[in-house]
Amino acid sequence: MCGIVAYVGNKDICPLLLEGLKRLEYRGYDSAGLCVGTKAGFYVKRAAGRISVLEAAIDDKMHGDKALVGNIGMAHTRWATHGPPTECNAHPHMDDQQRVALVHNGIIENFASLKQFLTEKGHHFSSETDTEVLAVLIGHFYQGDLAKAVQLALREVRGTYGLAAMAVSEPDTLVVARRGSPLIIGVGKDEYIVASDAAAIVEHTTQVVYLNDNEMAVIRPGGFKTMTTDDIPVTKAINEVEFSLQQIELGGYEHFMLKEIFEQPEAIANCLRGRVDLHEGRVVLGGIGAYSRDVVRARRIIITACGTAWHAGLVGEFLFEDLAKIPTEVEYASEFRYRNPIIEEGTMVLAISQSGETADTLAALREAKDRGALSLGIVNAVGSTIARETDAGIYLHVGPEIGVASTKAFCGQIVVESLLALSIARRKYMSQNVLNEFLQAIIKIPDQMRKVLEQSSSIRDVTAQYIHRENWLFLGRGYNYPVALEGALKLKEISYIHAEGLPAAEMKHGPIALINPGMPVVFVATRGSQYEKLLGNIQEVKARGGKIIAVASEGDDYIHRVADHVFTVPETIEPLQPLLTVLPLQLLAYHAAVLRNCNVDKPRNLAKSVTVE
Ligand code: M6R
């Protein structure tokens, strides 16, 4: 989605802003622009397409007063909503009197009525965007005090925003504000870097201030002030960002997705670190803290999430019902928020999100909280909005995920759900022996993952044989049914191949009609309670000429006789199988995308963090 970087300080601002934008590229965008305050006024440049196009358009040969040096500036990557991705619709937008510049993430829902109001007042517009309406509105209220004008304008606005604004006649002032779209202020030595994502900040400083909804800041070279958008002063704590620059660089890999797939053994070891006490035979979850009694007493769990996190939630449904014996439902956040959900006493809502900023998940969480649910976050991005708004939570600690296709977060989410289910179960029904067995199995997972990943090149070779097939099926049962869904999502989102994931038994209720000779059908077919039944489903596909690609347990000789291709995973207990079986499917999707020359890390139309509805 859209990205913001803004700077107040004394570094060479243009390269700094462009570098910041590049750090946000992974979030998805289709045009970009920047505004630098120079001695001769604002230098604004915008371009459709990649940041490199913007870079090429920037006239860095300007001299004298117009030289592209300045101590204040802001830049933006736009992901088109209102109007196509053209230069004219790209940010920054100036007001119609060229006094105020604005970059904005989010959506101004009442932009049409505001536009009409402003048109009647004699203002005019040059783009199709909702952002320009806000820029003109700020300009309309501007009387020499930018912060005041922003406050007055925001009073009229319905919708979401993370924004940064500059005024020509206040050349040392940057005003930023947020509601529903993240904004972080990096606090360096004599410099401030504001961004919608910490990835654009960490190379300058790890000290940050997270703005909450309806908060804003006025930043000048000598310092910054924070207040609500109603002008009530607020004191903000300075936090430390957990990740380093190295973690958000490619480190020799061709793509972030591949790096993140291969990072999983390490990432899962980090996720488990300090949480599994083998000596005492217990699970330690510090993030639950004061709420641990309420968590154990929960009578019903509602998991709410989107996309891959929703698939992890489906695995969670098995875990919480199987291990903790708590009735659990998994809800698409986008549906949950607009239903009239029943939240009884004893309901615990788990919001699962890698980014912690997904608009639908956040809205579902707020809905559940308003109705009295205890809320827990299972989040990767430390300090993100969901992490801050839940009553308690457990971070994934799998490190930043840059590739748009979520991989290591999925496994981290399952590990955290497992640990939470175990810690509840042990305080209710689970014997120490059963818990010990589970803990012994979970700590082996990182090494077992390494073994699975060794098959990457043979997965590539098999994928290459079917790369021209436009329809794939992914089937699994029990704990591996969500893995089948996840395998299909991975393939379609980065290689643009149509793929459907299903519980294997559902196939004969319709999708079996799709199977024709040569169609690739991926079965997640590890040994477990439903293995025999799954073999039956394999035969049904074979009988119709489908090609079977199986993910199976090591040592399963039989599967080699029925499947055309087999990738193996080491034996583990059934609830943990998804952590291994998903890996070949992630690699399959990755190789398919590379073989089809797709942009793996920035697939078309997609954004890393979906901060609009
Ligand atoms: O940041 P979140 O985990 O809340 O994101 C949820 C989905 O947008 C995300 O998982 C999406 O489906 C990914 N592109 C899947 O790879």
Q: In this prediction, what percent of the chain has a pLDDT beyond 70?
A: 98
Tell which atom from ligand 1 comes closest to the C-alpha of 386.
4
- Kindly tell me the sign of the dihedral angle through the C-alpha atoms of 361, 363, 366, 368: negative
Give residue 342 CA to ligand 1 midpoint distance, Å: 26
Pick the residue with more confidence: 382 or 584?
A: 584
Backbone angles phi, psi at 44, to 5 degrees: -120, 130
Model confidence band, residue 1 (pLDDT cutoffs 50, 70, 90): low
The answer to whether residue 14 is catalytic is: no
Residue with CA at minimum distance from ligand 1 atom 8:
307
Q: Is the CB of 406 under 6 A from ligand 1?
A: yes
Q: What number is the average pLDDT over the span 126-152?
A: 97
Helices (H), 70-211: 111-120, 130-141, 146-155
pLDDT digits (tens, 9 = 90+) for 34-89: 999 988 889 999 999 889 999 998 876 666 666 666 789 999 999 888 888 898 99
pLDDT tens digits, one per residue of 181-204? 889 999 999 999 999 988 899 989
Distance (Å, whole) CA 201 – CA 466: 42
The per-residue pLDDT for 116 is 96
pLDDT-derived band at 134, boundaries 50, 70, 90: very high
Integer CA distances (angstroms), 349 to 93, 374, 526, in order = 40, 6, 31
Q: Name the H helices within 427-549.
A: 432-453, 456-465, 481-495, 531-542
Ligand 1 nearest-atom number relative to CA 405: 16
Q: Which amino acid residue places its CA nearest to atom 7 of ligand 1? A: 307
What is the CA(494)–ligand 1 centre distance, in A? 13
Q: Which residue from 337, 396, 406 has its CB within 8 A of the most atoms of ligand 1, so it is best to mutate?
A: 406
CA angle 115/119/122 to nearest 5° reads: 145
Ligand 1 center–CA 170 separation, angstroms: 40
185 and 211 Cβ atoms separated by less than 8 Å: yes
609 Cβ below 6 A of ligand 1 = yes
Residue 383: its pLDDT value, please? 86
The tens digit of pLDDT for each residue in 89-121 reads 999 999 999 999 999 998 899 999 999 999 999
Which of 79, 337, 354 to mutate for ligand 1's pocket (most ligand atoms within 8 Å of CB)?
354
What's residue 431's pLDDT? 95
CA distance 232 to 561: 71
Ligand 1 in contact with 308 (CB < 6 A)? yes
Please choose, from the candidates 403, 469, 53, 154, the residue with its C-alpha nearest in 3D space to the C-alpha of residue 260: 403
In three-state form (DSSP H/G/I as H, E/B as E, the rest C), the secondary structure along 271-284 is: HHCCCEECCCCEEC
**Mean pLDDT, rounded, of the chain:** 93
Which one from 115, 492, 602, 608 is the annotated catalytic residue?
608
Respond yes or no: is residue 608 known to be catalytic. Answer: yes
Instruction: Specify the ligand 1 atom closest to the Cα of 606.
Output: 14
Per-residue pLDDT, 290: 87
Question: In which band, very low, low, confident or very high, does the pLDDT at 124 lie, cut at 50, 70 and 90?
Answer: very high
Residues 6 or more apart whose CB falls under 8 angstroms from that of 510 comprise none
Alpha-carbon radius of gyration of the chain: 26
| pLDDT number for residue 415 | 98
SS3 160: coil
**CA-to-CA dists, residue 609 to 193, 354, 560, angstroms:** 20, 9, 40
Give dist(CA 579, CA 508) in Å, integer. 27
Q: How confident is the model at residue 573 (pLDDT cuts 50, 70, 90)?
A: very high
Q: DSSP label at 400?
A: -
pLDDT digits (tens, 9 = 90+) for 277-333: 999 999 999 888 889 999 999 999 999 999 999 999 999 999 999 999 999 999 999
- Domains in the chain (CATH in brackets) are 3-241 (3.60.20.10), 248-443 (3.40.50.10490), 450-600 (3.40.50.10490)
Question: d(Cα 328, Cα 320) in Å, to the nearest integer?
Answer: 7
What pLDDT does 125 receive? 95
pLDDT attached to residue 216: 98
**Token pair of 533 as six digits:** 């039944």
Residue 377 Cα distances to 25, 286, 435, 488, 593, angstroms: 26, 13, 24, 26, 32
User: Among all chains, which residue has been given the structure tokens 């990557």?
Assistant: 77
Q: How far is the CA of 378 from the centre of ligand 1 (A)?
A: 13
Centre of ligand 1 to C-alpha 311, Å, is 10
The Cα 575–Cα 314 span in angstroms is: 12
Is the link from the previous residue into 92 a cis peptide, with omega within 30 of 0?
yes
Q: For the chain, report the end-to-end CA distance as a whole number of angstroms.
A: 11
The stretch 418-445 carries a mean pLDDT of 96
**pLDDT at res. 63:** 61
Q: At 383, is the secondary structure helix, strand, or coil? A: coil
> Is residue 493 lining ligand 1, measured as CB closer than 6 Å?
yes
In sign, the C-alpha dihedral spanning 270, 274, 278, 283 is: negative
Structure tokens at 47: 């371009």
User: Quick check: 309 and 361 in contact, CB under 8 A?
Assistant: yes
Determine the distance separating the centroid of ligand 1 and the alpha carbon of 407, expressed in angstroms: 10
- Round to whole Å and give the CA distance between 278 and 553: 26
Catalytic residue among 2, 14, 35, 411: 2
| pLDDT band of 596, cuts 50, 70, 90 | very high
- Kindly give the residue spans of alpha helices, DSSP state H, lying in 246-303: 256-262, 264-272, 292-297
Ligand 1 pocket, residue 358 CB under 6 Å:
yes
CB atoms inside a 10 Å sphere around CB 228: 15
332 token code pair? 């698409």
Tell me, what's the pLDDT at 61?
A: 63
Report the pLDDT value the prediction gives residue 595, as an integer from 0 to 100.
Answer: 97
State the pLDDT at residue 528.
93
Q: What percent of the chain has pLDDT over 90?
A: 81
Query: Which two tokens mark 434?
Result: 């059963």
